[in-house]
């Protein structure tokens, strides 16, 4: 019995290559699914060679099969979050970057810069802060001289209180940061004392500066200092939930007064932890708060706008004077408290 024979040559296979979709965006899950796998490969690469360029990482045999966007996202996410890795000796370290170069750093004395730059024994002289200091002091004094507050009101408060008011109410974000960086961080005024953590200057959410006034993402010891500072400030906020506080939110003065109580009383903070804007309170309650602070309204203060301006000075002066059961939360702290993870943590603990 013979096998069938196919003699026709008329059958062909035509393959139509698909065109890439330039508008397609890789889903976040595609990055997250391979995160641990990539971090393991990064660690092996860094153990074989301490410093890598981004192009070398892309072309390494271990990573060549991965999309470049996935590699870049994973390594920068590890840097920004301070993700901890271990070397073959079990030492904990971090990935750091300088330009297009990446390295594994065990501690502050084993940085990439220490490895590829010869030690500079010269003395660093930073002239920029001195220039900024003169400029920003001039800005504060200039704005204070133009402030629409009567001399009678000004005379009731200390100079540091008046400058503190100008800082919070009259400077824009960039002017504020420049002023803060221009300060002597070994002898800070009362409104900035709480913003120092080790050699870090904490000027708001994602606004962390080192001793050279460089905006940084903290890693290693600096990351430890930053997270320890955040925990301490949040713990104090939770521990002081029975005290009055003042703060600036969206350029408005806020308090935690109970607006529904006839007598002066702190509001309960189980659902929200933010205060209410000064302008939302009725006059009798503002009068009682001014009396409690020790600064009753003078006759010249008649409108609600005037009352809130006076209270903005009075509450700062009360903090300067060390008034008991009263705290001030800086805009820098508040912006960090309001980060998603911190806000959720605070609310959960307030409800506990």
**Which residues are within 8 A (CB) of 202 and not within 5 positions of it... i.e. 6 or more apart?**
195, 196, 208, 226, 229, 332, 336
Q: Please give the Cα distance from 67 to 13 (Å, whole number).
A: 31
Domain boundaries, the chain: 28-113, 128-217, 238-351
What was the pLDDT predicted at 31? 56
153, pLDDT greater than 90: yes
> Dihedrals φ, ψ of 165, to 5°?
-60, -45
Burial of 263 (0-12, 13-18, 19+ CB in 10 A): exposed
What was the pLDDT predicted at 128? 47
Q: Assign domain 28-113 to a CATH class.
A: mainly alpha
What was the pLDDT predicted at 114? 52
What was the pLDDT predicted at 129? 44
| Residues 138-151: tens digit of each pLDDT | 688 888 888 889 99
Tokens in use for 93? Answer: 């370290």
What average pLDDT does this structure show over 244-272?
A: 86
What was the pLDDT predicted at 2? 60
What was the pLDDT predicted at 34? 76
What was the pLDDT predicted at 121? 47
Tell me the pairing of strands 326-329 and 244-249: parallel
> Dihedrals φ, ψ of 68, to 5°?
-60, -35
Q: Please give the Cα distance from 278 to 297 (Å, whole number).
A: 15
Residue 238 near residue 350 (C-beta atoms within 8 A)? yes
131, pLDDT greater than 50: no
What was the pLDDT predicted at 148? 86
Cβ atoms < 10 Å from Cβ of 13: 4
Name the most confidently modeled range: 83-97, 252-266, 306-320: 306-320
Q: Give the number of residues written for the chain.
A: 352
Q: Please give the Cα distance from 74 to 53 (Å, whole number).
A: 15
Tokens in use for 99? Answer: 């330009």
What average pLDDT does this structure show over 74-88?
A: 76
What was the pLDDT predicted at 246? 95
| Residues 32-59: tens digit of each pLDDT | 667 788 888 887 887 777 788 888 888 8
Q: Of 140, 123, 245, 226, which Cα lies nearest the Cα of 189?
A: 140
**Which residues are within 8 A (CB) of 269 and not within 5 positions of it... i.e. 6 or more apart?**
241, 256, 350
> Dihedrals φ, ψ of 257, to 5°?
-90, 145
6, pLDDT greater than 60: no
| Residues 170-221: tens digit of each pLDDT | 999 999 999 999 999 999 999 999 999 999 999 999 999 999 999 999 999 9
Mean of the per-residue pLDDT values of the chain: 83
pLDDT tier for residue 76 given thresholds of 50, 70 and 90: confident
What was the pLDDT predicted at 14? 67
Alpha carbon 83 to its chain's center:
18
| Residues 198-211: tens digit of each pLDDT | 999 999 999 999 99
What was the pLDDT predicted at 3? 61
127, pLDDT greater than 50: no
What was the pLDDT predicted at 89? 67
Q: Please give the Cα distance from 249 to 254 (Å, whole number).
A: 7
109, pLDDT greater than 50: no
- Three-class DSSP category at 180: helix
């Amino acid at each position: 019995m013979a096998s069938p024979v196919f003699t026709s040559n008329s059958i062909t296979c035509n393959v139509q290559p698909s065109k890439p979709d330039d508008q397609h965006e890789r889903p976040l899950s595609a990055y997250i699914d391979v995160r641990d796998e990539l971090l393991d490969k990064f660690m092996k690469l860094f153990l074989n060679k301490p410093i890598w360029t981004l192009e070398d990482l892309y072309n390494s045999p271990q990573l060549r099969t991965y999309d470049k966007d996935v590699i870049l996202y994973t390594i920068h996410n590890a840097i920004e979050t301070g993700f901890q890795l271990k070397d073959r000796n079990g030492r904990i370290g971090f990935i750091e970057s300088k330009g297009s170069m990446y390295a594994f750093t065990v501690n502050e004395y084993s940085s990439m810069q220490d490895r590829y730059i010869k030690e500079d024994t010269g003395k660093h002289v930073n002239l920029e802060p001195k220039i900024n200091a003169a400029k920003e002091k001039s800005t504060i004094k200039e704005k204070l001289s133009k402030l629409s507050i009567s001399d009678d009101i000004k005379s009731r408060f200390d100079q540091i209180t008046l400058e503190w008011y100008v800082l919070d109410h009259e400077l824009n974000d960039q002017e504020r940061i420049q002023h803060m960086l221009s300060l002597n961080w070994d002898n800070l005024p009362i409104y900035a004392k709480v913003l120092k953590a080790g050699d870090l200057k904490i000027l708001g959410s994602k606004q962390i500066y080192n001793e050279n006034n460089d905006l940084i993402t903290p890693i290693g010891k600096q990351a430890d200092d930053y997270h320890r500072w955040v925990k301490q400030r949040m713990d104090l906020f939770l521990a002081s939930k029975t005290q009055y506080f003042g703060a600036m939110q969206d350029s408005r003065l806020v308090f935690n007064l109970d607006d529904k109580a006839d007598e002066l009383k702190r509001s309960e903070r189980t659902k929200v932890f933010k205060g209410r804007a000064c302008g939302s309170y009725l006059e009798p309650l503002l009068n009682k708060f001014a009396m409690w602070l020790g600064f009753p309204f003078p006759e010249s203060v008649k409108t609600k706008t005037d009352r809130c301006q006076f209270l903005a000075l009075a509450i700062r002066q009360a903090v300067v004077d060390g008034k008991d059961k009263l705290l001030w939360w800086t805009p820098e702290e508040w912006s960090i408290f309001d980060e998603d993870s911190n806000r959720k943590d605070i609310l959960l603990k307030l409800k506990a």
